[in-house]
Amino acid sequence: MKCDNCEKESEALERVSASNFRRNRRGATNGSIGVCDLCYKQFKLREEAVAKVVDSDSLKKLIVAGPGTGKTHTFRKLVESLPEGSKVVIFTLINNLVDDLRALELIPEREVKVFTFHGFCKNLLYAEVGGAGEFSYSGALSTLIKQDADLLGLEFEIDPEQAFSELREGEESISFYMKRAEYYRAVGYVDSVYRVFTFFRERPQTIPQYALVIADEYQDFNRLEAAFIDLLATKSPVLLAGDDDQALYAFRFASHEFIRAVFGNADFETFNLPLCSRCPPVLIEAAKAFIDNAIAKGNLKDRIPKDFECYWPEKFASMVNIRRFSMLTAQPELRLMLLLRMR
């Protein structure tokens, strides 16, 4: 018998919902299909990984997961498991990722709001801290204040953006920035998080409460943002999700050290989503070989260990193309055409 999903020969097939295998060979979208032992085993493994997150009673959770491993799917399952009427806030740092998560706001009977982290803080600045009508929000404020410092001949050892991001509250640059912002009756991108953070830190009774706070791409958060989430965690359950292998935002003073610190924190229960449905096996194996080689040379000593495997039920077609590709190495023009089709 052939698997209805990947057409692998199998002595027996498991009956499963076709909706769980979006790329099945039959093209079925409703009803059930029969799948081989490999497709079924990996499907169950992915479902079990998600269930561990959803079924956990921990108030502080960390998901360490590589790209394409189903974080958004897991977020959805977790939100759906909450009681009706639950208030959930989800934030990340990049507008495009917010767009990807926006569909979670449509989960019925739950009040879900998705923000960029700075959008979330701006909302709180006006809704909780107070300021509507008292000061304006301007993305150009930081540039204006830097120009003021230049005109006054002031040079700071640490500039305001870095001082705010690294929570260096004793730095002269922060004091100067805040005074100039008060003069202009304005708040900017760089200080909005700090203003809300200090307001809640000094008035813990005002920290908002949610049924769940989800912070995605946590490896890209800086010290101030991580400290802010720590404040939220004093009143609400939190789920952090990220991957120290994907830390890219050092230029905005983010660091993988924060997600690694959470991984080593006994207050957090840690989970892994091990199956990637974005990349074909050859890319995953190449990435793993690269990492193994780096570790063998004494690098990546503090890296968080994580499983990362190809999710076969959605990538079997890529394997077929790769086998075809390996037979066309003597024909460059065909190899190029196949690569373009595989993208």
Indicate whether 332 belongs to any domain.
Answer: no
**In this structure, is the dihedral angle defined by the CA atoms of residues 172, 178, 181 and 187, taken in order, positive or negative?**
positive
Query: What's the start-to-end Cα distance of the chain, in Å?
Result: 31
pLDDT at 134: 74
Question: Tokens 């009756």 label which residue?
Answer: 185
State which residues form the domain around 64: 36-122+200-310
Instruction: Give dist(CA 13, CA 24) in Å, integer.
Output: 14
Q: Among residues 79, 3, 74, which one has the least CA distance to residue 41?
A: 3
**pTM, to two decimals:** 0.88
Indicate whether 251 belongs to any domain.
Answer: yes
Indicate whether 72 belongs to any domain.
Answer: yes
Residue 67 C-beta-side C-alpha neighbours within 13 Å: 10
Q: Among residues 221, 238, 219, 227, which one has the least CA distance to residue 303?
A: 219
Indicate whether 19 belongs to any domain.
Answer: no
For residue 136, what are its two tokens? 């304006």
State the DSSP code for 108. Answer: T
For 37-67, write each residue's pLDDT tens digit. Answer: 999 999 999 999 999 999 999 999 999 999 9
pLDDT at 94: 85
For 211-222, write each residue's pLDDT tens digit. Answer: 999 999 999 999
Indicate whether 15 belongs to any domain.
Answer: no
Question: Mean of the per-residue pLDDT values for the chain?
Answer: 90
Indicate whether 189 belongs to any domain.
Answer: no
pLDDT at 280: 85
For residue 339, what are its two tokens? 């690569």
Query: What CATH number should be reported for the domain holding residue 106?
Result: 3.40.50.300
Question: Tokens 């979208």 label which residue?
Answer: 29
For 276-288, write each residue's pLDDT tens digit. Answer: 998 888 889 998 9
Indicate whether 162 belongs to any domain.
Answer: no
Indicate whether 222 belongs to any domain.
Answer: yes
